[in-house]
Structure 1
């Protein structure tokens, strides 16, 4: 690697560090003050950077918020699916589904910052539909695609509509998090997670064929 390449890599690292610094500051401000109540001055102070630096990276507040939504969605997708994808693709259906469900619920329901951000995205989605679309595009859609691929390619599982089944599974998990945690419903309509996961597995069990 020559000197020019090293300089370019160093500059990229600096840009990434600055962006991450801005993301961390912006997240705290948006969670505390909401979208409307957050100013670029607040974000700059929280992130420890100049306001000009934020504008150079993201253009405006909406651009920053969309980038933050995309970053968090991609980060959760990496945790939920991508880091376990190879393992899940090789596992038996009942094992894979339990693993996926528990991973999603563990990393959703135990992350209060993530839950608070979901509330924020939902609350702002009426005025800024692109925010919700960005979240779905970077987390919901790829998750459904991976699960659909798994259900389609499993030779021991016979499902008439793999995509619809994947949507039912992901939708059930999302609804569980939404109702139990985001909407504070766990004391009103309690449901043990193992009971819910077992029921999901039972839904596909009649479609399992013998291994012979």
Structure 2
């Protein structure tokens, strides 16, 4: 029996995954569309039918990669539930990405190429700000009397910065090892404690 024909979406995904492997192995500049087509088992004509250039392939990688982080921060406020618990859940969701060697290796590669070639990210600039759901979460918590804050956006940025201070930037730019799951759990707990100590409403703040 003949093998089922590959659908266009399946072939497109094969090409994309081949490009990811090529970018990881050789970087953007040295990546070759010839090798990508060979890895994907597709003709160059087929590759260009799905992705018109190497730049478009890399931009697709950027889009998908940042979407993983966006999903981790895509929270919805739950009325009646402790904001401490909701912030902890958000932190642990983000932490699952920050403790993944595969995710962080891709992050390091993407950030390096973005810094060298800003033109690669022009189409993605508006897609890399994931704070809005967190801002809404904090705003709703303040409206419910769980937090006392003047600028939810500043607090959202502060919380995300606390999570990434040890688990993201040193790994991406200084070559530090990916943090362990246990270490990430401590980072999340400390970050939540700091936010609640500063902005928790009376009766909600942790005891000193």
Work out whether the TM-score is over 0.5.
yes
Structure scoring higher RCO (CA < 8 A, sep ≥ 6) equals 2
Of 149, 164, 167, which aligns to 2:136? 149
Match of 2:3 in 1: none
Match of 1:123 in 2: 112
Q: TM-score scaled by structure 1?
A: 0.77
Q: CA deviation at 1:164?
A: 0.8
CA distance in 1, matches of 2:32, 2:196: 52
Q: CA deviation at 1:73?
A: 1.8
Match of 1:204 in 2: 195
Q: CA deviation at 1:193?
A: 3.1
Q: CA deviation at 1:200?
A: 1.8
Instruction: In structure 1, list runs of 5 or more residues that go unmatched.
Output: 1-12
Deviations 1:139-187 (A, max 9, x none): x412x11100100111121211100111111122233222453334359
Contact 1:69/1:135 (CA < 8 Å) preserved in 2? yes
Match of 2:17 in 1: 24
Determine helix, strand or coil for the equivalent of 2:115: coil
Summarize the Cα distance change of 1:62–1:133 in structure 2 as closer, same or farther, 3 Å threshold: same
Alignment RMSD: 2.6
CA distance in 2, matches of 1:173, 1:16: 36
Contact 1:151/1:162 (CA < 8 Å) preserved in 2? yes
CA distance in 1, matches of 2:192, 2:111: 29
Contact 1:69/1:134 (CA < 8 Å) preserved in 2? no
Higher share in helix: 1
Q: TM-score scaled by structure 2?
A: 0.78
Instruction: In structure 2, list runs of 5 or more residues that go unmatched.
Output: 1-5
